[in-house]
Amino acid sequence: MPSMEQSTIVKICGLTNLEDARVVVEAGADLLGFIFYAKSSRYVAPEAAATIVRTLRADGTSLPRVVGVFVNASVAEIQSIVAQVGLDFVQLHGNETTEWFAPLGGRAFKAAGPADAAAAQTQAAQFAPLGCAAGPSLMIDAYDPQAYGGTGKKADWHVAADLARQYPGLLLAGGLTPANVAAAIDLVQPWGVDVNSGVEAAPGRKDHAKVRQFVQTVRQTKII
């Protein structure tokens, strides 16, 4: 559970363009998320993401840490994109096993969308100890048997709250919006929150007012 001195980490995911990325940085997010899954409506090519990151750094911006989201990509492909873009963390959002973690050098964490509390406990016990020492240990997303995130469905907050008490570094995703994120933090007490569709104008395009409102709401929400 976060301490009174630690604010909840904010990850804004699904970035596809420089304009949105600049707004996210200016709003004060802690993590920028780029999706390298070609079937996603928020897919961004590695070279485009690299240009965005490079441009922000050239601007002298104090850049948040950068997360790459992958779905069943090979370790070799992930390693290549990590180097190309300059990723700090790797989010494994598919059916990856524990074998993916060691070659990624402590950068990886698993995104889980458990069907129920029992599945959540099993996945957390398996993957959270392998997560990032200085970042997320595990993401809990909404359950969907046919989609790998980005659905706008809400995760089970009660299940997530149980896990957050057991595993430091839990990142809560799934259906978060500026309107409900304060309630989510109050109940779950996560290390961080992740938003994608909840701050969009359209898939892959952010609503800048919602981005600013989401970050501001998180910052104003007290951690118990």
Largest CA distance in the chain: 47
d(CA 84, CA 107): 15
How far apart (Å, rounded) are the C-alpha atoms in residues 145 and 11? 24
CA 9/CA 193 separation, integer angstroms? 6
Q: Which of 13, 20, 132, 194 is catalytic?
A: 13
Residue 141 annotated among the catalytic residues of the structure: yes
Per the CB < 8 A criterion, the answer to whether 113 and 93 are in contact is no
Q: What is the C-alpha separation between 37 and 199, in angstroms, rounded?
A: 20
For residue 192, give both structure tokens: 């961080």
Phi, psi dihedrals of residue 142, rounded to the nearest 5°: -70, 150
- Of 88, 141, 156, 194, the active-site residue reads 141
Catalytic positions, written as ranges: 13, 141
